[in-house]
Structure 1
Amino acid sequence: MTIDHLSEDQVAATRARRISFMGLLEIESNPLTDEDVAMFEMFERERWPHERCRQYILDHVGDRSQTVAE
């Protein structure tokens, strides 16, 4: 069974994990870009399930790697 949208509780947990993760990235001097933060906020706002987020990221990483290679 595929989940269409996350529940409000799931979104809150996802947001809490993201904020914690962002803190760890800051400590390692490797913060998310504004574009990355906006993307994750979109996932939360749209309540996308994790599988859909993962596919979106994979699709866009492929786009970025082709741009860099050119």
Structure 2
Amino acid sequence: MSGSIERDIGRLSAEVEALQKQVEAQGVMIREMRDVIVQTRGSWKVLVAVAGFAATLSGLVVSAAQWWPWRT
């Protein structure tokens, strides 16, 4: 009976160690994801500004093309 309990304790101890390693690995991944998010915080604003400028410019070109003299 005592051998069975010791074996169970050993198995549970090994499972706890494995879970601790997994939690540490997840912590590293979360820190990496946070770092990426922090680095890209201002990039989306620039991307939106460039897209808005391109849309405005293309709209002006299309409007001007409708009234251009060679249009028949």
What TM-score, normalized by structure 2, do the two folds share?
Answer: 0.31
Q: Which is bigger in relative contact order (C-alpha 8 A, separation at least 6)?
A: 1
Higher gyration radius (CA): 2
Length-normalised TM-score, structure 1: 0.32
